[in-house]
Amino acid sequence: MIKIAASILSADFTKIEEAVKMAEEAGADLIHIDIMDGHFVPSLTFGPQLVASLKKKTSLPLDVHLMVENPRSFIPLFHEAGADWISIHLEASAHLHKDITLIKEFNRKAGLALNPATPIHLLNEIIKELDYVLIMTVNPGWGGQEFIESCHAKISHLKNWIRGQKLDIPIEVDGGVKLENMEDLINDGVDIFVAGSAIFSEKKPIDAIIKMKQLAEKYSSS
Ligand code: DX5
Ligand code: ZN
């Protein structure tokens, strides 16, 4: 099943609870929460307290994307806060196997995120340990950027490689996702779409999610 993850980065920060409840009502599959530390990326966003608060407000899995240096020091905090999925950046971890293993020891889904210019062959020694791969299709740090077109080839190569190895590891894409590019991305092999501005910058965010879900369901059943 193709999934939609609503990224609250583009929501009104004074109304995050409403945004999450709206996403749940619309049929979103995940709530994507971008954690930025002011070092790995220039911005600062949320901490574990927000994750813990949202955990009480929704039954949707919380997909926590750690855009932080030294992710190992943050993993236990987000596990305790109730993150269900935790992704770290390949570019930020000096001890990838150790960090991914730590997420799995906490019984959380372990994801590895790759920046647009990071080649997929760097996944070679770790891919079998992953529960999902997060392909950044913009440079991380901001919502509302344009999708980087060269990522189509990267995603389809990754999909072929995963299939060729007879693995079943979903590909999540993050950045510049819109209703208009979703079909091409589904053809590339995307399993999970993160969408921020394409939802929360719309006049009716609920309709944006419903349309994305309809498209996802059309391809999930075909
Ligand atoms: C960007 C974040 C994204 C962000 C995507 O660094 O990781 O999750 O919310 O925003 P859009 O969908 O607006 O490109
Ligand atoms: Zn993200």
Ligand 1 pocket check for 133: Cβ under 6 Å:
no
Q: Counting ligands in written order, which one lies closest to the CA of residue 197?
A: 1
pLDDT tens digits along 128-185: 999 999 999 999 999 999 999 999 999 999 999 999 999 999 999 999 999 999 999 9
Q: Counting ligands in written order, which one lies closest to the CA of residue 8?
A: 1
Ligand 1 pocket check for 96: Cβ under 6 Å:
no
Q: Point out the residues that are catalytic.
A: 34, 174
* Residues 6 or more apart in contact with residue 8 via CB below 8 angstroms: 16, 19, 20, 31, 32, 33, 34, 196, 200
According to DSSP, the residues that pair with 7 across neighbouring strands are 32
* pLDDT confidence of residue 222: 58
Global pTM value: 0.98
> Mean pLDDT of all residues in the chain?
98
